[in-house]
Copies of this chain bind each other. A is one copy, B any other.
């Protein structure tokens, strides 16, 4: 495996100084057109590739970011892969590379990703958290290192987090129902200790307040985590059995919505005539196209892209205002009616 071409070799052939070669290759205006052309030609002929280690050494950066994961297995989830694709897209755009910096079980040191910064292997870290993590990354993250957390939560103004705009998702969902004339809007949620549920509900409640609708806690149903579809179904029965049942149900996950559909169907009701229903997010199979009901859509690709772009801006010392960023969600309205027979 032969040694690579260097600027010195090119310089020798072109009969110029290597600094001229460097300038030519870096598109400096301080170089004669003819000279530049000649140099570029030689570089192409010799298949010159700049040594990124030498470059990084003098520029004090590796142009590589570390992807920090609690475990590689997270990548099995479509959500994480889509986030990763967004990250990759931003990396391609800005010429960065991606290093896997997962906290594998085999590594004793939990500071591994940060050590990678210290030894100049990576310039910064994208910390991909699980939405189901409770403490965000506060305990694992060393301040003063360039780190952006995806799905993370923090109260530290020095730590950057990018999330789906869960609050806005709650607002959009509630507003949609209100515009359709509903005032008894139920919510199917998971455990509120998870930030994203809390935020969605916060958004929903803010809309109620704005519309002078009293919050009825009977309309807020908590599902268990083990069998979300089942618990969505059971919660829906409870809602339908209320003395004054809701006219609309806002299911805060795909699975809860599936359960709700099941219950509504079993009761012989129709969506949206008898009761209106909205889902949230998409499922693992990403088959949102076939999901029959109106839904709040999240864009994991955008989440990854935005986060990565933020990190790169931080690395390039761009002015950043704020430390918490939110990726917009959108409403996907499904006009079709859901009749009982559809679900037989």
Contacts and interface: CB of A to CB of B under 8 A. Distances in A.
Interface of A: 1-2, 4, 47, 49-54, 56-57, 62, 64, 67, 72-73, 75-78, 81, 84-85, 88-89, 92, 97-100, 102, 104, 106-107, 115-116, 118-121, 144-146
A101 B107 CA distance: 23
Contacts of A73: 81, 85
A154 to B, nearest CB: 18
A51 B145 contact: no
Number of copies: 2
B62 A53 contact: yes
A70 to B, nearest CB: 13
Given A57-B57, A75-B76, A76-B78, A51 B120 contact: yes
Contact of A118 (B4, B53, B62, B116): B4
B53 A57 contact: yes
Contacts of A120: 4, 51-53
A50 to B, nearest CB: 6
B92 A51 contact: no
Contacts of A77: 76
Please classify the interface of chain A as helix (H, G, I), strand (E, B), loop, or mixed, using the class held by over half of its residues. Answer: mixed
Given A81-B72, A99-B99, A51 B146 contact: no
B97 A97 contact: no
7 contacts: A1-B145, A52-B120, A53-B53, A53-B62, A53-B121, A72-B81, A98-B100
A97 B98 CA distance: 11
A32 to B, nearest CB: 27
Given A52-B120, A98-B99, A99-B98, A88 B72 contact: yes
B85 A144 contact: no
A64 B50 CA distance: 17
A89 B100 CA distance: 13
A311 B81 CA distance: 26
Contacts of A49: 115, 118-119
Given A53-B57, A75-B76, A99-B97, A106 B92 contact: yes
Contact of A76 (B51, B76, B104): B76
A326 to B, nearest CB: 24
A124 to B, nearest CB: 10
Contacts of A146: 1
Contact of A121 (B52, B57, B75, B81): B52
Nearest to A315: B1
Contacts of A107: 92
Contacts of A88: 72, 100, 102, 104, 106
A138 to B, nearest CB: 19
A75 B81 contact: yes
Nearest to A106: B92
Contacts of A89: 104, 106
